[in-house]
Structure 1
């Protein structure tokens, strides 16, 4: 808590408490006496309880700079209770708050000397007020990351001093234009073509639609061009050579035509390239892979590219490569030592993932690897100890086989592990319990077998999505699963589980989807199962469940298909009427626990019987062997008797063999005699 006695420092002119996100202030009444305050920065201080913050700060008539970024503010009054008092204010930063309000008019009449206004991601919405035109001294305006909509007001033309971030308009000195992540619509202002000093143009994530021509982009100082996620169509000739040299190019979801844009080859300074989802087809020209040594980010995803891709070991600056959702084929490439994100999903790559293992030995930076939905085959090499910085690994929808490598458990920073729809066998190795921060585990549609490991529930407490469906798992569903209180999705369908639904399943308070269908589960539902308030989807079909279907607000929304294949269920929504099942519900946990214990006892007994058999054999052989030889060594008469026995037995065998051999030879001689 910020101490109120700071208000005693009446001559204080500068107060900066920013950056300490552990500070809190519930009211700002103590600030009234700081008449000399000129610079106040409380960014990061928790002010969500300070409802009258504006009234208190409005008394600081000498204030020049006010920064309240990320203060968790929730109120932005539409009207001031009194006149605006801080008329000398030059810098105002209210970004990263939770106002959920329109931009009030008083904010735009705050000060004619205001040069900087930042409302980035402050949850303001609605139309841009015409009063923006009153801010004749404004040089930096950032409104990105909000829900502003409608057309741009003509009053922006009056702000001729702008040199910072500003929604598009006519000022000739404009250098930075960023209105990204809003709901602007219509064509871009034609006046943009006259902004000869423009360095940054970012209108991404809006609803603009326009035709981009060579004349439109004839801006010689432009370094950053981001038109992504709009409806722009490029209409330039194949031989066009722009007059600018870009550092960053983002044209995601723009219409670039079927041919690869050749004009990109002229941009020798590019370090960031995103031309994803632009409807380009064919092979990527060879020059593209090597035209700029500075490139660290390449995104070609969501097009119709084909052909093989080169090795990337020489691209020492490349840290992100996204080629997903194309038609690339051939073997996987080796990647650069500094690669952090490699996404090659949904292509036609084939062969093994050996190049990945070979690259991991030289790369300690890789954090995301997505090779899903290709035609990769073979066993996974046990090389993952080298990828300790991996946070995401997706190898799903391939034809990988064998056992899941033990070294995957060395990826202790992993957040998601997706190995679904392959041919992995055996069970999950216990080394995976080391990945305690894992949030998503999907190993569905494989050939995994055995019981669900208890350590899943005991160690992986961060799990939000657990999918083990379409495998060969059997045994009971362990109670430890109910310790995963962060679970949102649990899918154990299409296995061979038996026994009952765990009684403690009501502990999964935020569970949204539960699928236990197509198993051999029996018994009644747990009596507190109706206490799962977040459930949106359930499927218990094709088991052998009995008794009354749970009652609860969410269970009234599920259809009969969620319970089909359980002939002895009753209650809504199935047609079978329930008799009094109150007693059955009361004893459910007791009976179910007895059944679980019986199954566990049976499994333990089977294991113990087999184990005891082999142990007994071993002990018996060991004891008999040494008892016999120790006796011979200690008792001389037994030793001589045993030796005579062996000698006599040897003589008898020799005589028997000699006579037998003589008879065979005689018989053979008779057969060879002439008649």
Structure 2
């Protein structure tokens, strides 16, 4: 109709038959060209949406130079992948955006997700994306399977519209600036296998609806300000391999429904306000490799069922109010590398079954009420690097079998009731850096070969009954940083001590020393 109107007007304006023929030819050519131009394809619309978003990015990185001015070939652009349209197999569309760690100073709400409705994957981790989580992202992308936005500066609430992303398999929003609750609508995402909201300032309770996400293998909610009880419904997530709820404000007891998580490999509940007993049922999670419950208010005994956890490499129970004896069954966890039970109310003896823990690297038992003798079997822990038995009520002699612990770097024995001599075998530990056995009842001379490995930095043996001369080996121990030998009966000429370029603190007061020490170090002498 428009063509006909224009033709009539132009022909009426023409003053000669020849001019009319020329104008008619031009109009016919324009009509054919208009009829031949197809409407823009989906791919061109998608490219246009990306170019419009790029125009809003502050100082776009060099990688986006490939996003040209043309809208016809976006499948070769950096971070862009294409595929066939699910409904129209012959049509190519943009399906993935993957721009990791480019420091993009952009906003999500500047990207037209309504146009980009064919996306199956959005991966924009570790950038500088600001602004809110746009509801349009959640409501416009029915085929989205992966949404990875971790390590950005996205703020505001997670919108309830997130329930529309029913195809999601992976949802990672960690390390952002969200606030508010975790929407209960997340429980609609029943295809999720990975959910990570860690370190995102979230508050409120853990939604019970998460129990509907039964395909989850990874659930990270740690590093937030979540409060309330642990939902019993977490026990429905029987495919879970990793559950991290640490560094929150969770309270109440650990639900015994967690015994259903038979595929669990890592369980992190540390740094909360959990109380009550540790459920014996956790001993049935035989696939566990890491169990961390430290920094809570847990009471009662350590379950002896933990002896079933033979794949465990890490057991952290420190900083609680646990009581009773240390179960000998812990010695059956022969793959343990880290065993930390400090800052509890444990009593009785150290089990001699700990000699079976030959893979142990760290053993921390300090600040308890352990008593009796230290079993010589601890000398079988040949891979141990840090051994802390300080501030207990341990008595008797220090086992000379400690000389077998040739990988020891740290040995803390202070604040006990040890008596007898310091075993000379300790002086032969070549890698020893920190040696402390202060506040005991030890007597006799210090081992003559102390610091023979040339690594010793800290020596704390104050408040004992040590006597005899200073070991001559200390004179050449240039690695020393701190020496505390005060309040003993050590004898000799202190002027024979060497030069210590790294020394920052030395206290040898209240002994039977004479002479004057040269001040050739970075600190001073007390």
Report the TM-score, using the length of structure 2 for normalisation.
0.70
Aligned length: 419
SS at match of 1:358: helix
2:313 to 372, 388, 391: 391
Determine if the alignment matches structure 1 residue 279 to structure 2 residue 201: yes
Structure 2: how far apart are the matches of 1:240 and 1:313?
A: 24
Deviation at 1:170, TM superposition (A): 12
SS at match of 1:409: helix
Name the residue aligned to 2:281: 358
Change (3 A) 1:245 1:541: farther
- Equivalent residues in 2 for 1:90-489 (5 A)? 151-157=61-67, 160-162=74-76, 173=94, 175=96, 177=98, 179=100, 184-188=102-106, 198-204=119-125, 206=126, 208-214=128-134, 219=141, 221-234=143-156, 237-239=159-161, 245-262=167-184, 264-288=186-210, 290-311=211-232, 312-334=234-256, 335=258, 336=260, 337-353=262-278, 355=279, 357-361=280-284, 363-457=285-379, 459-489=380-410
Name the residue aligned to 1:493: 414
Structure 1 runs of 4+ aligned residues shifted over 6 Å read: 168-172, 189-192
Deviation at 1:313, TM superposition (A): 3.8
Deviation at 1:468, TM superposition (A): 0.5
Structure 1: how far apart are the matches of 2:111 and 2:436?
A: 55
Deviation at 1:275, TM superposition (A): 0.8
Residues 354, 377 of structure 2: 8 Å contact kept? no
Q: Which runs of 5+ in 1 are unaligned?
A: 1-149, 582-675
Change (3 A) 1:157 1:513: farther
Report the TM-score, using the length of structure 1 for normalisation.
0.55
Indicate the structure whose relative CO is greater, using CA pairs within 8 Å and at least 6 residues apart. 2
Deviations 1:143-169 (A, max 9, x none): xxxxxxx94444443695449xx6589
Structure 2: how far apart are the matches of 1:436 and 1:499?
A: 27
1:551 to 445, 470, 475: 475
Deviation at 1:444, TM superposition (A): 1.1
Deviations 1:111-147 (A, max 9, x none): xxxxxxxxxxxxxxxxxxxxxxxxxxxxxxxxxxxxx
Residues 162, 174 of structure 1: 8 Å contact kept? no
Residues 428, 449 of structure 2: 8 Å contact kept? no
Structure 2: how far apart are the matches of 1:556 and 1:382?
A: 42
Deviation at 1:176, TM superposition (A): 5.7
Structure 2: how far apart are the matches of 1:244 and 1:533?
A: 62
Change (3 A) 1:213 1:308: closer
Q: Which runs of 5+ in 2 are unaligned?
A: 1-59, 84-92, 501-505, 518-526
Residues 499, 521 of structure 1: 8 Å contact kept? yes
Coordinate RMSD, CA, aligned: 3.5
Name the residue aligned to 2:437: 516
Change (3 A) 1:341 1:575: closer
